[in-house]
Structure 1
Amino acid sequence: MILLYPFQRSADWGNKVEKLTVRSAYRTALNLMDHCGRRYSVLLDPEDYLPRSSLIEAFPPLEVGQEIRVGIDGASVGFDPSQIDGLPNKKLRGLWLEWLEFMDAEELSCLHEAIDEPERLIGLGPGYTPAGDDFLVGWIMALHFTGRKKSLLTIEREMLDRKTSWFSSEMIKDALEGRFWKRGIELVSAIADGDATRVLEKTDSITKWGHLSGKAWLAGLAYGLELGE
């Protein structure tokens, strides 16, 4: 059995050696599943950090369905997916209002139809992670960012597994548990600091994520921020 040794990890990935199954393999990311169905990821690029992820220098040849072990002991912590500091700086409101316009695109117009019933967003729309799921995760992050965690959307975990993809379901579960991806955390940090230049830089990076995923996520974040106004 192949044993991988990442050199860095997210704070929520424990120290024990995990026996995991390869669910998907890409050029810069390896998505793995444990015996409980939770996602773990081994990455090449630190900008791709997300909950339960680690960094490695290179991937060996691997096949979907193959079992491997990941020895995380000794890997330093390079990212905390639950660290959201500060509150939205309202002087940047004009910037995040622009993100709501992404929903006016034909491919994302379906979000308007389901926005009043959040559970209808699950699995809705195009994309490797459906646009509705990305929107939900952005919305949930806004609730954490604005200190309104008690207002978290009520979403049944079983419904996630039934209505959307495994990876997307895991993404939403992480968000509900208060864990998010690095790009999103860096963006809300820039908003809290009132740093418009950095917000624009991070926004540009996120809009390039996937075909529509980044735009749907930004629209969800903006929608959640506006609900807090």
Structure 2
Amino acid sequence: MRNARRPVALIAIAGAWIVAILALLSLGTWQVERLAWKRNLIAQVATRLAAKPVPAPIAAGPEDAYRRVTAIGIFKPARDSFVQASTVSGPGWWVITPLHTADSRVIMINRGYVPARTAPPSASGIVTVTGLLRMTEPGGGFLRSNDPAADRWYSRDVAAIAARRGLGITAPYFIDADATNATGPVGGLTVVRFSNNHLAYAITWFILAIMAVGGFIYWFAASRRSAESNE
């Protein structure tokens, strides 16, 4: 009875081993595809950063992130929001100020970094802001959720900040202002860096797949020898 069950058990083990090998190969292939996607993303962003500024759009999507844009309007006074930040200048706050444009839009502007939760007043009159278009950051950051009721912000959540300040509908993005204002918050601190470990991950998965193939061959040969010795 035990000998009758042996072929079934061997087939089940072989099937599981083959499935594991195929899974490892699939994971390696997926990481190769992710590598191509990440390299393409990095190239696209580099092109946007090198391009001349364009007028800030009405709407924007992920494909517009880090595009250099220009907005013209008037800062709304006494509407600053402070978002916790960690920068090359140390921990502190981003100063987010709404800009009312000539076409009656409101765009949130990250005027820059300050070390304490206070900032110089925004410029009065019509101003031109040039910077990088950034997509809204809903929810929070630093492992903490935004608390609109307490006016505590850990991410630049455009819609939530606009609602807290009673601004109504705003552009679905914010602009990281360039370092052009020597007397105000420190701008131009945007860090554009994408982690790209996909090649290392792909190599790891393929090495594991090769090891699994080697183990399968060894197991298969040992099983055959054992079967032949029992005949």
TM-score normalised by the chain length of structure 2: 0.25
Q: Which has the higher helix share?
A: 1
Structure having the higher strand fraction is 2
Larger radius of gyration: 2
In the superposition, the TM-score normalised over structure 1's length comes to 0.25
